[in-house]
Chain A
Amino acid sequence: MGENRAEVPGCGGDSQPPCPDQVLENVLENVLRFLTSRRDRNAVSLVCKSWYLAEALTRSELFIGNCYAVSARRATERFRRVNSVVLKGKPRFADFSLMPLIWGAHFTPWLTAFAAAYPWLEKIHLKRMSITDDDLAQISHSFPHFKELTLVCCDGFGTSGLAILASKCRQLRVLDLIEDEVEDDDVVDWLSCFPDNGTCLESLSFDCVELPINFDALERLVARSPNLKQLRLNQFVSIGQLYRLIVRAPQLTHLGTGSFSPPESWVPGEQEPDYRAAFAACSSLVYLSGFREIVPDYLPAIYPVCGNLTSLNFSYANLNAEELKAVVCHCYKLQTLWVLDTVRDEGLEAVATTCKDLTELRVFPIDAREDSEGFVSEVGLIAIAEGCRKLQSILYFCQRMTNAAVIAMSEKCHDLVVFRLCIMGRHRPDHLTNEPMDEGFGAIVMNCKKLTRLAVSGLLTDRAFGYIGKYGNSVRTLSIAFAGDSDMALKYVLEGCSNLQKLEIRDSPFGDSALRAGLHHYYNMRFLWMSSCKITLEGSREISKALPQLVVEVFRSGLAAVRDEDEFVDTLYMYRSLEGPRNDAPTHVRIL
């Protein structure tokens, strides 16, 4: 695909050595090929025009953080040699039903452009985009070398699209469907559609496909996929079926175990296979997830692999402290752990005792309501802080928390990059002192110098945001809900956090005056989301006029349009864009 520059006409033909400028360009391009970080590449492209061109020709992975920030045409015109694309669409609050059902983020126009510009395309990774079955068919037709499809939190497609992809993409190595909403109107046996004579599959994840599967087809597929290393099953695979798969694929490194329980038709007392031996044979297993309908009696089967595990996802498993302890006491290499709060503080204490290399912990609530009984508290958090000093990322749902515990974590876990604490009851103070949670979050931003992502909760006054503005210089993503007393809180953040890129706020008393405080910074951000705050339509219009390259969208959660007479705006979503207002917005989304 490369141009042979020595043969460019006008240079006197092949007999002449290449001109010095040309040599420099060749050198530059060859050096730039090694540059993979997109931030570095963005910096390189700003040096001078020649470097801009060279960088554009050597960028092979295209990352678009907001599909509306730039058009497909502009992107494909600048970057000519892309073989891998990452595209992100809706903002994160769409996951929590805060967006109208119909909003946008369609993959089709991008696909059309890619099909024309990058026929050699190998990888597509989408997050929060809508992709249809027709799009999946189009991928199969347009890209003969297509190898990897990863869809995270996407929707719009079903099993018929998967069937086409499976049958036509002969070089497919990766098909990872992660937390997508898969249409279920029409159930096609897509697992039977992979090529009969063998596949190149290395990773197949379909835990989110909530439809029964043809197990025999899956078993045959695994048998003819010798490179398969990662397999994540859905809950329609029983433990007996899981057994049959893993004995055929002991080379697996990542396994999503499906239901991890016997099928409904099983009768107790029936002869069962040696699950433990089957797991013991999987000596390369480092990741386990699934356990969607776990019967804890079967847990001992995984003990043989616990010593090698680096990642364990029990976030769909109702396990108590004893059951978790029995597993985790073997997992001394564990780096990532996701659990439900049913394991209680006691379970977390056990984790803290054994898992000294833990870098990521997520504790989800089994009962996700504000007034539910929480099963973990500051006790668990302190235990983790003291035991897991290498912690980098934490997501913790609870009902009771104290400033002291959060401060302790800030002091012991210096490597914290992501701190997300969700005290589920709104406006809850420190349950021992009754003080707001200001000091705790303040300590996090003060002490954790590597912090880039922060989510706050509980009772918070403007003081907390004063701390964040003053010390949170490295914060790039900030989530605020039901917090703050006044506009000052948001002003502190917008004026202080110079690296802020993504700001999502809901139900907090911030108005137009606070919004204006960020005018100097909005072009540096990927987006700002504010819902159920005190922003007026007029205030939003002002921002839109002041910053012409900011797209300012206002909408409600339902399908009712925003009217001119509305004083307050339900939701404001704004983002920088080189293209101006998008032309695919539905009528209930108003672009100012």
Chain B
Amino acid sequence: MDRPKICERRDLNLKATELRLGLPGMDEPENQSTSCTARSNKRPSPEVAEDCGSWTNNSRICDADRDGEVQDRTPPAKSQIVGWPPLRSYRKNNLPKKSTDDGGGLYVKVSMDGAPYLRKIDLRVYKSYPQLLVALETLFKVTVAQYSEMDGFNGSDYAPTYVDKDGDWMLLGDVPWKMFVSSCKRLRIMRSSEAKGLSCQ
């Protein structure tokens, strides 16, 4: 698309600065589509107001159990609709965990066998089992150790256990940290002798 030479351009000059209704990018005026005439002149026929609830025939609904399958069906009240609310999946997948109570920490009660008091700690403050154990030792002024196949309770008097959301007593350390945080309902520091019963399961 080089410029034409000057002398040739003299002849085309008028055309280059011509003002007209066609688009200047084309040599011929563009054949404007007759779309305006295609618009329906008919009065819209009155539509019967649809019951909003029946709308869901075409909506894609997936089961709340998130098995990854999408099936078309009319939803029970609490099913999830695909893509609603409109949050990018990147954001949805990276949201922090909601807490169970006040929107801040995840507080669980901690008791120790033989101690006449209960404490409450915020599980969210800790990032790993070692951190939690240090905190428990500080709180109750005892040595607490996780169970391991090799060392048993490592000579300490106490063993940390917890109740999970199914109501079962578990030894600390059985499951990955994040899973523990989301399922732990209560902590109990047991005497090692009693905890041995748990470890045999």
Contact residues of B: prevailing secondary structure: loop
Contact mask for chain A residues 278-306; partner B; CB cutoff 8 A; 1 contact, 0 none: 00000000000000111111000000000
Which of A153, A265, A342, A365 meets B103, CB within 8 Å?
A: A342
Q: Which residue of chain A lies nearest to B90 when distances are taken between CB atoms in the complex?
A: A179
- A491 close to B88 (CB less than 8 A): no
> Which residues of chain B (52-85) have a CB below 8 Å from chain A?
52-53, 55-56, 58-60, 70, 77-78, 80-85
Residues of A366-403 whose CB lies within 8 A of B: 366-371, 375, 397
Judged by a CB distance under 8 angstroms, whether A481 is at the interface is yes
Task: Answer whether A487 and B47 are a contact pair too, CB < 8 Å, given A8-B5, A364-B91, A570-B58.
Answer: yes
Would you call A77 an interface residue if the criterion is a C-beta within 8 Å of the partner chain's C-beta atoms?
yes
The answer to the question of A21 belonging to the interface, with a C-beta cut-off of 8 Å to chain B, is yes
* Known contacts A8-B6, A9-B5, A365 near B25 by CB under 8 Å: no
Interface size on B, residues (CB 8 A): 71
Q: Is the CB of A509 within 8 A of B83?
A: no
Residue of B nearest to A557 (CB): B60
User: Chain A contact residues: over half helix, strand or loop, or mixed?
Assistant: loop
Q: What's the Cα separation between A427 and B77 when bound, in Å?
A: 13
Does B47 contact A268, Cβ atoms closer than 8 Å? Answer: no
Residues on the A chain within 8 Å of B70, using CB:
557-558
Which residues in window 101-139 of B have CB below 8 A to A? 102-104, 124-128, 130-131, 134-135
B58/A266 in contact, CB under 8 A: no
Q: Are B135 and A426 neighbours in the complex by a CB distance under 8 Å?
A: no
Contact B86 A96, beta carbon cutoff 8 Å: yes
With A and B bound together, what is the CA distance between A262 and B47 in angstroms?
61
Which residues of B sit under 8 angstroms from A509, Cβ to Cβ?
47, 50, 52, 55
Q: Are B85 and A368 in contact (CB under 8 A)?
A: yes
User: Quick one: given A49-B15, A317-B96, A517-B39, are A485 and B50 in contact (CB under 8 Å)?
Assistant: yes
A533 to B88, Cβ gap below 8 A? no
- Among the listed A8, A80, A424, which residue makes an inter-chain contact with B85, where contact means beta carbons less than 8 Å apart? A424
CB-based contact B131/A266 at 8 Å: yes
Q: How far is the CA of A169 from the CA of B25 in the complex (A)?
A: 36
Interface magnitude class on chain A: 35 or more
**Smallest CB gap from A424: residue in B:** B85
Q: How far is the CA of A373 from the CA of B3 in the complex (A)?
A: 67
Tell me which residues across on chain B come within 8 A of A533, comparing CB atoms. 58
Question: Given that A513-B45, A517-B40 are contacting pairs, would A368 and B83 also be in contact in the complex, using a CB cutoff of 8 Å?
Answer: no
With both chains docked as a complex, state the minimum distance between the C-beta of A98 and any C-beta of chain B, in angstroms: 5
CB distance from B151 to the nearest CB of A (A): 19
B16 at the interface (CB under 8 A from A): yes
CB distance from A401 to the nearest CB of B (A): 13
Residue numbers in A under 8 Å from B23 (CB-CB) = 46
Q: Say if the beta carbon of A78 comes within 8 Å of chain B.
A: yes
Within 8 A of B (CB), among A223-280: 235, 261-269
* Chain A 179-209 near chain B by CB (<8 Å), digits 1 or 0: 1010000000000000000000000000010
Q: Contact at B134–A95, with CB atoms within 8 Å?
A: no
Question: What's the Cα separation between A549 and B87 when bound, in Å?
Answer: 33
* Chain A, range 132-168, C-beta contacts under 8 Å to B: 153
7 other A-B residue contacts (CB within 8 Å) besides A21-B9, A367-B98, A422-B86: A49-B25, A317-B96, A318-B99, A323-B104, A368-B95, A486-B49, A486-B50
14 inter-chain pairs at a CB distance below 8 angstroms, sorted by A residue, are A21-B10, A49-B24, A53-B3, A97-B83, A264-B177, A265-B128, A318-B99, A318-B103, A485-B47, A507-B55, A513-B44, A514-B44, A516-B40, A546-B38
Give 3 closest A-B pairs by Cβ, nearest first.
A96-B83, A486-B47, A50-B16
